[in-house]
A and B are shown apart, each in its own frame.
Chain A
Amino acid sequence: MLTVTNLSYTYPEEHQPSLKDISFTVAGGECVCFNGHSGCGKTTLLLALKGLLAEENLEGTIKYGGAPMNREEILAAVGLVFQNAESQLLCSTVFDEVAFGPENICIPPAEIYQRIVESLTAVDLLEFGNRNVERFSAGQKQRLCIASVLSMHPRVILLDEPTSQLDGKGKSDLLKTLRLLKSQGISIIIAEHNIEPFTGIIDRYYLMAAGEITSVQDHAPEEYRYGYGTSTPVERRKRPADSSEPLVSADSVFVSYAGSANILNSVSLEIMPGELLHLYGENGCGKSTLLKTMAGAIRPDSGLLTISGRDFPKAGGLLGIVALLFQNPQRQLFEDTVQDEIAFTLKRLELPTEKIERTVEFTLTLCEVIHLKDRLPLTLSFGEQHRVALASVIAPDPKLLLLDEPFAGLDPTQRLRLLKILTRLREESNTAIVIASHDPLPDPCWADRIITMQNGEIVPPEVSPL
């Protein structure tokens, strides 16, 4: 049994503790989940349990089986799977990755072979042993991360937001693996915003706020059941204005990359001005490629594509007309202040200074970041950076806004806040908005229309799962 008593931690150079008097127990074969808004201390708690925080700032005890563990014992007994599988995989092949941990703790090679086989069998990746991890899907990478931790024979496994990059299949494969580990007596601790996939295996829920456990319950908190239990849906919206001319018109569009089959396979769709669209589908089904094609960043191999009256537009030709927000805001933030960041595209459009100032002010207010206007964007929290990145792409008042997996890394409150901002944007500017995601929307009624994609094709509405 893992017993944590009065655990507190303050980061160096911080005044407020990030963890305050955390106490809980997890028995072998139990699975518990820590919920809370971004910044509430979930990840810090997992790092503390794994022994990755500075000991001098850590108070309280962590015991396994009644005895406190030292760092060496924690190393093998506790396995941590981080949120980002991509940066966690350090080796090129599956075998190398799984062998990495045991090699570091001097496990003899003959035993490493046995552990590799066990771990990869558990996550159903044994047949991929010699493969380059580059070609793995997000779900396979996540399961490989678990295998690389399992090979160290942990008694406790910690998972930090394991589903943030996973689609439905990835989640169901992960759940199968966790169920198996649980049945084998391994304790599992999950920190997650989206608990829906795991409700069948979680024994207890710990709700956290400001570094403290605020409540413990044995049923799933409604707020964290992504897309299912939204208690405060986004307010009702006006219907889009009628228009005979579609903003986007795609007819039999094909797109392929070198060395692969068609990514988009005869895609035909129309998007009307002011329409709210949810583009739904599993990872790799072609959602992102479709968004990039509509943004003019990818040219179709064949078919007809018209955006706002322009045939086969190039990215530069759509500046101020189409905006694309990528999943990770850090990819597009670089200016010294938030207001400079938002003014960047406006300056490139050579608008008058007065208009730029007015637009920046309006956009900052719309995206609820006016109080951050003089801050350095890269020092903001993830949620704040996300809103600044959104503000920077909507500032030129585009007719079409495309968002690629915009909810990844956001907590339930931030997700709803984003939907509210987008609704206001449609009401103010009649912007057509397309959200591409592998999950249902936090407010299932938000979109005017849902389009499901599968294998590069648009699925007819009558067979769509949503």
Chain B
Amino acid sequence: MRRRMTGSDYACQYRAVDSPVHRLPAGWKMLISTALSVWILVVREPTPLFLATVSCLLYYFLARLTVRDFWRDTRYFLVQFCILISLFVYREGYPAGVWPGVRTSLQIVLFFIPGIVFLRTTQVSSMMKGLRKVVPYRILFLLFTSLRFVPFFAREMQEISMAQKLRGARLSPTEASRPVFWRDIFSCLVLPLLVRAMKTADEAALSAQARGMGSRSERTYYDVRELEAYLATHQKDGIATADPKNGEGICPARTSSGGETLTK
């Protein structure tokens, strides 16, 4: 029953640990990710590809991500691995097609790893702060809130699928491969999932509206590093640990400190 509170059971979700990669500013991480991905795309020979692979893995594990995280993040690439190698072997024969197949599928996996590290190590607020100058805030909000709900819908899909299979729907992988059962996939799985998605989207929109989303043309952005510094300073002074039972901490006099007000 004991579970780590730092991560998530799903791929590409933020992992709350401290690492050199976590501490890097979002812009730098984006730069490193782009450079690594481009490098991976251009290499062809085994030695450079090996070096690129090692670099990617080093970058991944430097972020204190675990082997389990790696498995969650990359397991679906195994499918393309098998398909691509088979296709190359089919086209170029055995063993001539093996190396090109391995190389191409490895490049595809490695291409995405720096991006996965970015998602795993960067809080949404930092991403939004970094990207706000190029992408409108509302679009960023939509994008990152969607990411937040990926695990939610993955869970919903599992539950719906389980509920429907117990009622006799043909949704097992073997059954799903037969076109005669595709109607079940749509009506028993996709339709209830769509209904849940629409309802959840409605509720999330209402929650955002209730907390002032879109009420002003400007918004401010907090900085998680500054907040941690604030916490470190104030915990020393005993403010953050003020005892709420004594009435401290909920509605103190409002400060009038200046700060960064940014246009969306």
Contact = CB atoms under 8 A, between A and B. Distances in A.
B257 interface: yes
B10 A134 contact: yes
B9 A259 contact: yes
A92 B214 CA distance: 20
Contacts of A326: 159, 163
Nearest to A154: B251
B136 interface: no
Given A104-B213, A129-B231, A90 B220 contact: no
Interface in A75-118: 75-76, 79-80, 82, 84, 86-93, 95-96, 99-114, 116-118
A262 B2 CA distance: 9
B232 to A, nearest CB: 11
Contacts of B200: 86-87
Contacts, number: 265
Given A106-B219, A129-B231, A324-B163, A93 B16 contact: yes
Contact of A131 (B5, B125, B216, B223): B5
Interface string A309-345: 0000001101100111010101111110000000011
Contacts of B212: 75-76, 101, 104-105, 152
Contact of B220 (A106, A259, A335): A106
Most buried by B among A89, A121, A130: A130
Interface residues of B, number: 88
B124 A93 contact: yes
A192 to B, nearest CB: 18
Contacts of A297: 162, 165-166
Contacts of B6: 131-132, 135
Contacts of B204: 87-88, 90
Interface residues of A, number: 97
Interface stretch (B46-54, B56-64, B145-153): B145-153
A260 interface: yes
B79 interface: no
Contacts of B80: none
Contact of A334 (B166, B187, B207, B247): B187
B199 A330 contact: yes
Contact of B196 (A126, A292, A330): A330
B19 interface: no
A107 B169 CA distance: 51
A413 interface: no
Contacts of B55: none
Nearest to B162: A297
Contacts of A128: 5
A466 interface: no
B73 to A, nearest CB: 14
B261 A106 contact: yes
Given A185-B251, A330-B199, A117 B13 contact: no
B1 A261 contact: yes
Interface stretch (B28-36, B93-101, B104-112, B237-245): B237-245
A372 B90 CA distance: 57
Interface in A215-236: none
Contacts of B2: 260-261
Interface string B155-182: 0100110111111110010000000000
A122 interface: yes
A320 B203 CA distance: 36
A235 to B, nearest CB: 30
B213 to A, nearest CB: 5
A373 interface: no
A263 interface: yes
Interface in B204-246: 204, 206-216, 218-224, 226-228, 230-231, 234, 239-242, 244-245
Contacts of B220: 102-103, 106-109, 112
B2 to A, nearest CB: 5
Contacts of A262: 1
A173 to B, nearest CB: 13
Contact of B168 (A86, A153, A344): A344
Contact of A114 (B9, B209, B255): B255
A378 B193 CA distance: 12
Contacts of A144: none
A314 B255 CA distance: 61
Contacts of B13: 92, 132, 134
B134 interface: no
B145 to A, nearest CB: 5
Contacts of A181: 250
A180 interface: yes
B261 A92 contact: no
Most buried by B among A104, A131, A181, A259: A104
A92 B252 contact: no
A284 B3 CA distance: 11
B259 interface: yes
Contact of B16 (A122, A132, A150): A132
B249 interface: yes
A96 B76 CA distance: 30
Given A132-B6, A181-B250, A259-B3, A91 B125 contact: yes
A295 interface: yes
A117 to B, nearest CB: 5
Nearest to B188: A334
Given A134-B151, A261-B2, A297-B162, A113 B226 contact: yes
Given A130-B228, A296-B166, 17 more contacts: A88-B207, A95-B123, A99-B227, A105-B215, A108-B255, A108-B260, A113-B222, A135-B5, A295-B166, A297-B165, A326-B163, A331-B160, A331-B163, A333-B192, A392-B167, A393-B166, A456-B1
6 contacts: A79-B210, A110-B257, A121-B240, A328-B196, A330-B196, A331-B196
7 closest Cβ pairs, A-B complex = A108-B259, A348-B168, A104-B212, A110-B257, A101-B211, A87-B203, A134-B8
